[in-house]
Structure 1
Amino acid sequence: MTPLCGTIGRVPGQLMLLDTASLYFRAYFGVPESVKAPDGTPVNAVRGLVDFIARLVADHRPDALVACWDDDWRPRFRVDAIPSYKAHRVAEFVAGEAPDEEEVPDTLSPQVPVIAEVLAAFGIARVGSPGFEADDVIGTLTTAATTPVDIVTGDRDLFQLVDDARGVRVLYPVKGVGVVDTIDDAAVLARYGVPAASYADFATLRGDTSDGLPGVKGIGEKTAAQLVNEFGDLAGVRRAAEDPASSLTPSRRRNLLAAADYLDVAPGVVNVVRDVAVPGDLSAALPRTPRDPERLAALAERWGLGGSVQRLLAVLADDR
């Protein structure tokens, strides 16, 4: 797979990148489904996400904000490399397998287009890239950023982007988004025993059942961290496995050699892509007033979002 080159226009000050699906899933499960539009349609994910954004802006005061989007939640290049990638999330029907359709709750799917409309009416940038996940958009925008970046996600894979020297950190929600863990280099090291720059190699060895990544037999978190620290990186670990004189135990050497096919392709799945196509003229500056106030008012009335919309409008207008 040859990634597409992408660029982004300059953004002022602190940039906040939202892993949007991660947040609206959290909103959906955190806000009661009894929260409904006037016609009885559940809007818990919509209202929850708008409230999440208001809380994040109020607490962290970013100068620019991008809602990063999954244009493809299960990209072909990752599935071709590891067919089990997110396979358990694919809905299967009696008549056969659906074509890579993510299994999401019936009452969440209809809310996603509403979320997109509300973001557009506010003037909050929403960015995806064909054939890529939001993780890859976040990786690209983070790499291109010339200012500090806060990445808001419940996905540990993005810990690989943490970089104290560049001011890149992850805000990892632990209770709604009102309580977040700030993940910097020290936090990654304390949690996993490896620096953030080594997180992807560590995750490749360990695997991740939630993403359908098998990892290497017999290698859990502690062993993965030990191997990465001892041999420097994944390539160093593999060289040690091929060297009978290395300090690896015979069983670990056997397991690593047996996993060669997996280790050949897994880095291309685990590592986020950092140069996908994104709009070169992207205006990510945080809007102080809505781009389309009439449309926003209509959406608020149609879907019963009044309180949430007003809270976000008030936060955006506050230029402290």
Structure 2
Amino acid sequence: MAPSQLLVVDTSYLFFRAFHGVPGTLRSPSGAPINAIRGTLDTIARLLEDRRPSHLACAWDQEWRPAWRVDLLASYKTHRVAADGHSEEIPEELLAQIPVIRRALTALGLPVLGAPAAEADDVIGTLAALFAPTGPVTVASGDRDFTQLVDDATGVGLLTPVGRTPGWREIHEAQVREAYGVAPAAYVELASLRGDSSDGIPGVPGIGDKTAARLLERYGDLAGVRRAAADGVVERGGLTARQAEAIRAAADYLDVAPRVIRIRRDLPLGITAEDLTLPRTVADPAAWSQLVETYGLGSSAGRLLQTLGLPTPEGAR
């Protein structure tokens, strides 16, 4: 059955947001932290209630910092590398909850999807490319990189949280243009010029969002901006001498930055729409019941079951 509406959630974004937004005083019967677990389950339940999708996918980082991206740009996410030199620096109380979140989603029967040498972003981009031809695809995340996927013609939209509230707002092409001054298709080039400190993307010194958007509009695309800089074009409404020099100096960086920022849409996920249908029964009732009891998931577990229309398994009450 083709999706009539596919909701794809950026799972790592959800559990990081839950960890920082839900009180850390929430504890399991044994005293272990459960704020990220309960917050993630609550958020997925809320999204399902609000959006009523026919299909769902929980995208997962198989590799949070793929080697191929680091090979292109050594600064990529460097500031988030832990002391061991390769894993992501994550608060200990969150780190302990991440495997439990995955186990809970899997036990319930919600598809958790990752891929070798790929971030969740690439999984999401591939899912959008695969399933947009059959129905709308909505991506739930606060990561602005997903702006590049927004496409009104194919029905790919973005849901982003409204501040610290439980609400989410829809992002379509008009909202992207309003926020960044470019179409979604130009977002990768805009991000290359202005950079993204959250991902270790340096950008071109002296060029921010507004300047990048203005230059892309004036010269058509990043290649046009670079040609103008190489030719020494300095004009009102276009490049200044300082900007032209900065762009020329950043040539090596600009050769690779778009490839690092661009989300892949061609992963061999090997899935069908049927794999993403909402569960009709709890996939592993014993595992689900044990998790609910061990971690005291209570109302969060119950709300998610109710939203999915699933009965509470014995032992999980």
Q: Fold-level match, TM-score > 0.5?
A: yes
Q: Would you say the 8 A contact 1:52–1:177 is kept in 2?
A: no
Give me the whole-angstrom Cα distance separating, in 1, the residues matched to 2:281 and 2:42.
17
Conserved? CA contact 2:234–2:241, under 8 Å: no
Aligned pair 1:171/2:162, yes or no?
no
Q: Does 1:88 align with 2:76?
A: no
2:99 aligns with one of 101, 107, 113: 113
| Inter-CA distance 18–293: structure 2 relative to 1 (3 Å threshold) | same
- The 1:53/1:176 distance shift into structure 2, 3 A limit, reads farther
CA distance in 2, matches of 1:296, 1:44: 18
Q: Secondary structure at the match of 2:276?
A: coil
Work out the CA distance in 1 between the residues paired with 2:261 and 2:3. 30
- Distance in 2, Cα, partners of 1:61 & 1:86: 35
2:261 and 2:2 mapped to 1: Cα distance? 28
Q: CA deviation at 1:31?
A: 1.0
Q: How many residues align?
A: 304
Task: Tell me: CA distance 1:245–1:88, structure 2 relative to 1, closer, same or farther (3 Å).
Answer: closer
Task: After the TM superposition, list the runs of 4 or more consecutive aligned residues in structure 1 that deviate by more than 3 angstroms.
Answer: 244-247
User: Could you say what secondary structure the match of 2:82 adopts?
Assistant: strand
Would the aligned equivalents of 1:24 and 1:45 in 2 still touch at CA under 8 Å? Answer: yes
Deviations 1:150-197 (A, max 9, x none): 100110011000001111111011245721121110001001111111
Task: Check the 8 A contact 1:35/1:43 in 2, yes or no.
Answer: yes
Query: Which one-letter code corresponds to 1:169 in the other structure?
Result: G
Output the aligned Cα RMSD: 1.5
- Percent identical pairs in the alignment equals 50
**How many Å apart are 1:295 and its aligned residue?**
2.0
In terms of fraction of residues, the more strand-rich structure is 1
Contact 1:188 1:196 in 2 (8 A): yes
Alignment partner of 1:291 is 2:283: yes
TM-superposition CA deviations, 1:41-67 (whole Å, max 9, x none): 111111110000000000111111100
Kept in 2, the 8 Å contact 1:188–1:194? The answer is yes
Contiguous gaps of at least 5 residues in structure 1: 1-9, 93-97
Read off the aligned partner of 2:98 and give its amino acid letter.
V
2:90 paired with 1:104: yes
1:202-281 counterparts in 2 under 5 A? Answer: 202-245=190-233, 247=235, 248-281=239-272
By how many angstroms is 1:111 displaced?
0.8
Q: After the TM superposition, which of the residue ranges 240-249 and 150-159 deviates more from structure 2?
A: 240-249
Q: Is the contact made by 2:233 and 2:244 (CA closer than 8 Å) also made in structure 1?
A: no
Instruction: Check if 1:191 corresponds to 2:179.
Output: yes
Mapped to 1, the partners of 2:224 and 2:59 lie a distance apart of: 34
- Alignment pair present for 1:310 and 2:302: yes
- Residue in structure 2 matched with residue 61 of structure 1 by the alignment: 52
What is the CA–CA distance in structure 1 between the aligned matches of 2:222 and 2:208, rounded to whole Å?
15
Q: Judging changes above 3 Å, is the alpha-carbon distance between structure 1 residues 239 and 141 closer, same or farther for their aligned structure 2 residues?
A: same
What amino acid sits opposite 1:294 in the alignment?
A
Counterpart check, 1:49 vs 2:40: yes
SS of the equivalent of 1:102 reads coil
Distance of 2:272 and 2:176 partners within structure 1: 33
Tell me the alpha carbon deviations over residues 91-123 of structure 1, each in whole angstroms, 9 at most, x when there is no partner.
Answer: 23xxxxx13111111011111111111111111
Structure 2 CA distance for aligned equivalents of residues 70 and 279 of structure 1: 17
Q: Which residue of 1 aligns with 2:16?
A: 25
Amino acid at match of 2:204: V
Q: Shift in Å at residue 291 of structure 1?
A: 1.5
Show the counterpart of 2:315. Answer: none
**Residue 116 of structure 2: SS of its match in structure 1?**
coil
- 1:173–1:179 Cα contact (<8 Å) kept: yes
Give the TM-score of the pair, scaled to structure 1.
0.91
CA contact (8 A) 2:234 2:244 kept: no
Q: Which runs of 5+ in 2 are unaligned?
A: 311-317
Give 1:243 shift.
Answer: 2.0
2:186 match: secondary structure = helix
